Amino acid sequence: MSEERKPVGIIGTGLMGTACARRLLAAGFGVLGYDTDAGKCGAFMALGGRAARSVAEIAHDCDKVVIAVFNTDQVEDTIEGPRGLLATRPAAAPPLMAICVSTCDPDRIAALAARLPAARLRYVAAPISGTSEQTARGEGLGLIGGERAAVDAARDVIEAICPRWHRLGATGNGGRAKLAINLILGINRAALAEGLVFAERMGLAPETFLNVARDSAAYSQIMDIKGGKMLTGDFSPQGYATQSLKDFSLMLEQARRLKQQLPLAETYAALMKGCVAAGEGELDNSAVIREIRRRTS
């Protein structure tokens, strides 16, 4: 099998992994996907991707792999675990290029990249700013961190997934930018939800109010992406509440290391904990409006 015809591996075929697959297939790549939850492979295969039976199959059949797992622990295990990419990559194969789109602890990711043997695996951190639906439409923004040579080697995959992207320097910097951007987005979601609930409690028609707010100085893209979901109660996930809680927990952990208070991030994390406690963790993060509605005096 020639290098040009090898499929791109995707490890983690949930919302973001499937969105990446959609972009790669549209760009003419073959994709070979694996997930520990075999049930998640259905949507992936419906797009035209092939399902792998193991990480080892991807390590054997692919020279480039997109990692789209849930958290830092899973990234480390995917690469360094006993059944991970390093352990199962054939010894004579060229270095595997790993492009990780997961939102992770940037310090641990920087340490991971530093200890990886370059002759076996090259790593690019490529978290994406945008929902899974935005990513599938080519509207996600790639926040790229890594050595320039590695980024150049991964450019075809990066640009297929994210036509818009920025290289931010060292490996951990993409993740640092993603956390800071997600902080702003989460607070914007909460602000929109709170404004909608407040307007509704004062007797304003929610749909009319949202249209007016879109035309006001308060406008943000969140109104277009999440406003309709909040009003209709359509919480089909573009990004899970559990993911938002994981991201904000990472932010607060980073802030504690830096001795910086993040009072609004603490408030948002508490809202997401309320959603998860109410059994809404697998709903879209726009379900924050439910938690705000529950907070009555």
Query: What secondary structure letter does DSSP report for 95?
Result: P
Q: Could you give the CA distance from residue 261 to residue 128 in angstroms, rounded to a whole number?
A: 25
Q: How many CB atoms lie within 10 A of CB 261?
A: 11
Q: What's the CA gap between 288 and 268, in Å, rounded?
A: 9
Q: Above 60 in pLDDT, residue 3?
A: no
Judged by DSSP in three states, 139 sits in coil
pLDDT at res. 45 = 86
- Per-residue pLDDT band for 5 (boundaries 50, 70, 90) equals confident
Q: Which of 67, 60, 71, 58 is nearest to 20 (CA)?
A: 67
Q: Are 158 and 151 a contacting pair, CB within 8 Å?
A: yes
Does the pLDDT value for residue 210 go beyond 90?
yes
Can you spell out the DSSP letters for 241-253? HHHHHHHHHHHHH
Q: In this structure, are residues 7 and 50 in contact, taking their beta carbons and an 8 Å threshold?
A: yes
Question: Residue range 36-44: average pLDDT?
Answer: 83
CB 52 within 8 Å of CB 40 = no
Residues in the chain: 297
Mean of pLDDT values over 68-73? 96
The pTM of this model reads 0.92
Once rounded to an integer, what is the mean pLDDT over residues 240-264? 97
Backbone φ and ψ for 71, nearest 5 degrees, come out as -150, -175
Burial 122-148 (b: 16+ CB within 10 A, else e): bbbbbbbbbbbbbbbebebbbbbbbbe
Task: Give residue-wise pLDDT tens across range 215-247.
Answer: 999 999 999 999 999 999 999 999 999 999 999
